Structure 1
Amino acid sequence: MSMQTKHLDLLTKLSLDFGTKAVASLLEASTLWIKKFPNGSYVDWSQSMISHSLSQLNEHEPHWTFIAARIHLHDLYAKQRHSNIYTDFAAHTTRLVTLGLYDPILVERYSQEELRLIGNLITPERDKLFTYSALQMMMSNYITRDADNEPVELPQERWLIIAMILMQNETEKRLKKIAEAYWAMSHLYMTVELPTLLNAGKLQKQNNNKPTTFTSYLAVYHIDITKFLDSTIDDKVVYIPDLFMEQVESRGNWHLFDPHEVQAVMGYSLEDFYDEKKGAGSFREKYMACVQHPKLSKKTIFAIDLMKQIMHSQLTTGFPHLVYKDEINRKKTNKYAAVNDALHPNQSIHSSINLGRAVPAGVLERLITIQVRMLDNAIDLNAQSMPKDVHNRGLLLGTTGWHHLLALNKIRWESVEAVEFADELYENIAYLTISASMELAKEKGAYPLFKESDWYNGAYFEDRGYLSKSWQRLRANVALNGIRNASMTAIASLSSTATLAASTIGIEPIIQKCYLDEQLDSSIPIIAPDLSPETRWFYKSGYFIDQQWTLKQNAARQRHIDQCISLNLYVPNTIQAAELLVLHVSAWNSGLKMTGSIHAHTNSPYFLNTAISF
């Protein structure tokens, strides 16, 4: 096909899909380019038309991100396999195994006939779901490449390879389960965590070119806490017991101890205890015993002064995250387990429901059923490197696209309706996730410590107020059949996977409706998803949102999430300490397990309504 024919074919398709008026400037730009470069290559024409499309992208014309993606796809198809695009999956997979690019397990576990049948699942039309930024990220960072760093894989093949790897050990209806996993990923109903997206099925593992970060943890009663807060460590977490927050509120004293001395004198570690009830428990008893012991040295300060230092560090660096250790441990499913087990999340792959696509499509039940299986299978595949996960089979099933979903439903962030929606939606997600794990337990067995858990005795359901008839039926089924996973739901802020899903980040509000994402060698425009005259007014920048409403949403959500929620707060750097303290006290009082980074902005007004309370 000549250059002239190829570009005319593509422009015709774009005109049909988007309308001639919507692509008018592209048609004009193409005509001018061809007149200027009559002998120019198709690749050069594509790059020029992509640049033109991205230059037109703004919050009033968001469709240009999809036009740019379609031009990029057309170029990719032509470069890689010409007329064989997406038609030769079995041969292509075998060829990449032979070249040492794909893991041999793909042809060892699957016959050629199975590969042929699996290849028939590919639906090229789903490539059209990508925005330009999503497609560029997929092709730049995650697609399999050869020794010359040239891509040898296309997006739908990446989804299918991930599905094959995760389902390789299934013994019943394996191809159907692969089809379901492919359906979930290729529709962008869910995302998978980056290492899986990056490495599944590849013989040579890649890295995502991001620097490794290490999280440092320290308790707020540690003798070195003030040095820790002043340190240059980037990613810091401080464990906060209820007693500290009580002393902050009452402007009381706080005592710091050397943990080695505590162990030597008292014979225990404070880290091993928590308050079993709000306002009472073994941690405060052990802590006060340390305070009163005449042979134990301590440093006494005002709790409010330490809290001010924490907040100052947050406003200048974004850290530390605050983890409310008592609340976390009170919600453990296996109460006898070590306290620290509840403070460090499971290491299995993270997967998120893309709320902005899955909820409007009405596919939550179908999606969560396959998603839980995918995550559970990943535990066994990662067993050698993550033995703890096999012990409790904990999952990290999260959500992304919350602000996207609110905008689609025309719900303002700062509203009672948003809080009620969060409560209802996340209860439904919890119900479906627990049901899916229970069904897996019927098939594959419960996790080893099930009969010593709050799942078995029903306390899990009672503590969360799950008392309706449907919940009681599920409770009875869990007691009878077991549950596959000790914990299942968690929320982290994963910006990269949100970009791939063409949605908003996690449970965060947007910062801007349209902005430039600075890459190593380029700037890619990002547009709020499904931006239109109808949704525009429901996309409010996080820096203009009253953060009390964010906390109210998260308090409603946290009841249904059995691990920590990484929630960031957006404030101006001129915020008064008293105002920021109100947010922290609200977060703690509302039963949150954790607050994430504080994002301070120089020129953004912040309207704090202290009359809003929990």
Structure 2
Amino acid sequence: MNNEQKSERGDHMQSMRNTGLYSVTKRNGKLMPLDHAKLRLTLERVSKGYTALSVDAIIKELEKNIFDGITTQDLEKTLLLSTVVFIERDPGYDAVAARLLLQKLLKEVCGKSVEDVDLSHVYQDAFIKGITLGVQRSLFDARMLDFDLELLAQNLVTERDELFGYMGLQTLYERYFAKYNGLRFELPQTFWMRIAMGLALQEQDKNGKALEFYAILSTMRYTPSTPTLFHAGFPVAQLSSCFLTTVNDDLGHIFKCIGDNAQLAKWAGGLGGDWTNVRATGSYIKSIKATSQGVIPFLKIANDVVVAITRSGIRRGGTCVYLETWHLDIEEFLDLRRNTGDERRRTHDMNTAHWIPDLFMKRVLEDKEWTLFSPEEVPDLHDLYGKKFEDAYCAYEEKARLGKLNQHKSVPAKQLWRKMLTRLFETGHPWITFKDPCNVRSPQDHVGVVHSSNLCTEITLNTSQEETAVCNLGSLNIGRHIAHGQLDNPLLEATIKSAIRMLDNVIDLTFYSTTEARNSNLKHRPIGLGLMGFQDALFKLDIPFIASEALEFADKLMETISYNAIQASALLAQERGAYASFKGSKWDRGIFPLDTVDMLQSERGSAIEVSRAATLDWDSLKAFVQKQGMRNSNVMAIAPTATISTITGCYPCIEPIYENIYVKSNVSGEFTIVNKYLVEDLKKHNLWNKNMLDQLKYHDGDLALISQIPQEIKRKYQTCFEIDPVWLIKLTAARAKWIDQSQSHNVFIKGVSGSKLHEVYVAAWKMGLKTTYYLRTLGATQIEKSTLDAKEFGFTQMRQYTSVSKACGLDAPPDCESCQ
């Protein structure tokens, strides 16, 4: 632009300001008057069906934030943000914001503005061109062109875009939709179809299965984990979620595993590592006639390697390391996440977890001594569990007493337990997981040992020097299976059948960056079908989380999922053949997950406080499995689902809602969201208005402090910190009896109480839980209150709360997006 043009433009902009009008800078650089009529028509179009919303309010907010000469792109962004700020007033604004974002995406993909009447044709054209472009530019697998693109395009259901909320679509827009030269060329439904095609590449009836998968994905009844969403249909498609390794007490193997983990993390995998084999500090090394520095320095190296890796170019790597409670370095292991001490012996970026044998918990409860050993002197303890572990451990204690072991230390078990819980509270780590339930209840006890869980504590698979365990995850959206006030069992059964098939396909389609991962996955074929939206389902069923009906629903729901998931895997075995190591497995021996609860009770020698009641015909299913086999060694695991639940607009996995009003952040800024189910119920009671919103903000969503709200609504919408954590353990235990792997169970604690922590984690052990995940503590965060009336609520609008550890606050980003 020359000086004359700049002067002309400046005069024009000054003229617009003087007249109270605004001009818009078009993409070609020309200035045009802001078309207020078109703006209003656009807002009226995207607000269609939401009569309670105010177009005038959005326009007024927009006018406060624009300036003369604003670019078209900035005008679009400002209009979107001017809508988002009203989401707190009514969930309908969320839908309007999603429609505006979709309009922006359509313009980016198609290169022009698109009206509703053109949507079907535009979608079909964009899909065919997008798949073709992706293959031509080597972004997509060439086999994607083997599908009947015309047929698939004609079956795209554009109306399903309406299922997205703003945050879900924004998440896909920012991180998941395929791009070329910085521009996106995927729309929501073409994205789902591409995932479906990527999972049907090796199906005989490619088109039929792609359409079947698309129907499940696009209705959000089931969603694969992030690696599958990232890479399905790509030439190098790493679709698996998490990887588990065992590190041997050998320098070469230690660094091989560190290198392998770097490769696995590079391709979006979450990592779990068993380091119990590595000898303790002060142990003798024969080859160099010196003493070892123990496991801690190697964990520091592993920590720094993980930090250096960016998973799929999007997010830094993530890992969790496990150590058994008898390891002589366990006390230093407890301090890895502390902010004080020698930084060379700290790992601030990796997660840590205890791998606790039952004997330790017995010693805690009996207030007895606990002995720590160096693993090279007690080599068989690592692979033992149950009664055999107890016998061997006690024999080693006797050897130590007689002076036949070089390295050992005796500590009061209760003292060590207290320190474990203290560090967990202070730093959020190490997490509490239990070795014996994971192994006694494992279907694969005939071919190995479970030495650790994964990054999110829901995977329990065997590992060894020869095998890196791999798991492939996806989650059912339970809220999408509630119809007419009840669980739609036929719909759920159909979803599970397709979901198991998709997960099994992942095993043959995924890219393996290590030989050990490939060998393990193809031999055992484990998958992990989980769930999310449990809280949504309870809201729709009008069941409070604290009600006995919630426990009953959790139990029966998981029984239904388990039955149909096992049946689906057996049907796949009938079609495709059983997994290679099926013979001799618990499945082959007629032992199903429910049966293993009694096995654990027998090994432990104390009662597992869980009901054994069943309602389905398990005997006939056992007979079918023994005849046909299983396609997959493991079929169920409940992952955290933070990201995919955001995409699909439901609450994560098995958790209760954590706040009824909260601030959500993304790349565009922050905005306040109110629980849409709560708003709906308050509307039914004629209680939803600005004053109620202000009270929710003032009281940080605590309904107990708002007198106008009926007691039944307060009870229904209790948050995770208002619910007894032991009750949540009971719900998880009710599910656990049906699951062949584990669940990512967060523990929520309100207040500072060591005795309550002890009660919760002992309850988890007594009820037979395999693992727990984060300890979440209530911090003193508050909702933004700058919009409240100072005359009514005061000028500072601050209340005093007891400050609680922020070690693992709810606003902390999830480390394991692979499972999400």
TM over 0.5: yes
* 1:567 lines up with 2:745 in the alignment: yes
Aligned match of 1:587: 764
Aligned-partner Cα distance in 1 for 2:527–2:73: 44
Aligned match of 1:609: none
Aligned match of 1:182: 214
Q: What SS does the aligned partner of 1:457 have?
A: coil
In the TM superposition, 1:201-350 aligns within 5 A as: 201-203=233-235, 207=312, 209-232=314-337, 233=347, 234-263=350-379, 269-275=380-386, 281-293=387-399, 294=402, 295-296=404-405, 297-340=407-450, 343=453, 345=459, 346-350=469-473
Deviation at 1:520, TM superposition (A): 5.4
Q: What SS does the aligned partner of 2:748 have?
A: strand
AA aligned opposite 2:733:
A
Alpha-carbon contact 2:61-2:82 (below 8 Å) kept: no
Deviation at 1:92, TM superposition (A): 3.0
Aligned match of 2:90: 61
- Give the gaps of 5 or more residues in structure 2: 1-33, 115-120, 238-310, 338-346, 460-468, 598-611, 683-712, 781-800, 804-820
In the TM superposition, 1:36-185 aligns within 5 A as: 43-58=73-88, 61-81=90-110, 82=112, 85-88=122-125, 89-107=127-145, 109-110=146-147, 114-147=148-181, 149-171=182-204, 173-185=205-217
For 1:250-303, what per-residue CA distance to the aligned partner results, in whole angstroms no more than 9, with x for missing partners?
11111100001223xxxxx2111111xxxxx10100110110112024200011
For 1:113-148, what per-residue CA distance to the aligned partner results, in whole angstroms no more than 9, with x for missing partners?
x1111112211111111111111110101111112x
Distance 1:334 1:28, change over 3 A: closer
Aligned-partner Cα distance in 2 for 1:236–1:31: 48
Distance 1:94 1:380, change over 3 A: same
Give the TM-score, by structure 1 length.
Answer: 0.89
Structure whose alpha-carbon radius of gyration is higher = 2
Q: CA RMSD in A?
A: 2.6
Greater helix share, structure number: 1
Aligned-partner Cα distance in 2 for 1:274–1:393: 24
Q: What SS does the aligned partner of 2:416 have?
A: helix
2:495 to 352, 367, 371: 367
Deviation at 1:31, TM superposition (A): 8.9
Aligned match of 2:630: 483
Q: What SS does the aligned partner of 1:511 have?
A: coil
Aligned match of 1:612: none
Alpha-carbon contact 2:355-2:452 (below 8 Å) kept: no
Alpha-carbon contact 1:348-1:375 (below 8 Å) kept: no
Alpha-carbon contact 2:443-2:634 (below 8 Å) kept: yes
Q: What SS does the aligned partner of 2:85 have?
A: helix
For 1:127-172, what per-residue CA distance to the aligned partner results, in whole angstroms no more than 9, with x for missing partners?
111111111110101111112x22121121111111111111011x
Q: What SS does the aligned partner of 1:86 have?
A: helix
Distance 1:6 1:142, change over 3 A: farther
Aligned match of 1:446: 578
Distance 1:527 1:80, change over 3 A: farther
* 1:197 lines up with 2:229 in the alignment: yes
1:356 to 479, 484, 487: 479
AA aligned opposite 1:584:
Y
Q: What percent of counterpart residues are identical?
A: 30
In the TM superposition, 1:400-411 aligns within 5 A as: 400-411=532-543
Q: What SS does the aligned partner of 1:94 have?
A: helix
Aligned-partner Cα distance in 2 for 1:29–1:469: 58
Deviation at 1:55, TM superposition (A): 1.1
Q: What SS does the aligned partner of 2:679 have?
A: coil
Deviation at 1:358, TM superposition (A): 2.7
Aligned-partner Cα distance in 2 for 1:5–1:374: 48
Q: What SS does the aligned partner of 1:427 have?
A: helix
Alpha-carbon contact 1:219-1:239 (below 8 Å) kept: yes
Alpha-carbon contact 1:401-1:505 (below 8 Å) kept: yes
Aligned-partner Cα distance in 1 for 2:527–2:47: 45
Aligned-partner Cα distance in 2 for 1:97–1:262: 55
In the TM superposition, 1:504-543 aligns within 5 A as: 504-519=651-666, 522-523=669-670, 525-528=672-675, 530-534=677-681, 537=714, 538-543=716-721
AA aligned opposite 2:416:
L
For 1:279-338, what per-residue CA distance to the aligned partner results, in whole angstroms no more than 9, with x for missing partners?
xx1010011011011202420001111111111111112122212111111111122222
Deviation larger for 186-195 or 79-88: 79-88
Distance 1:519 1:90, change over 3 A: closer
In the TM superposition, 1:364-513 aligns within 5 A as: 364-382=492-510, 384-385=512-513, 386-387=517-518, 388-460=520-592, 462-463=595-596, 470-513=617-660
Deviation at 1:343, TM superposition (A): 4.5
- Give the gaps of 5 or more residues in structure 1: 264-268, 276-280, 607-614
Alpha-carbon contact 2:130-2:185 (below 8 Å) kept: no
Alpha-carbon contact 2:97-2:166 (below 8 Å) kept: yes
Aligned-partner Cα distance in 1 for 2:765–2:38: 60
Aligned-partner Cα distance in 1 for 2:408–2:61: 75
Distance 1:341 1:105, change over 3 A: farther
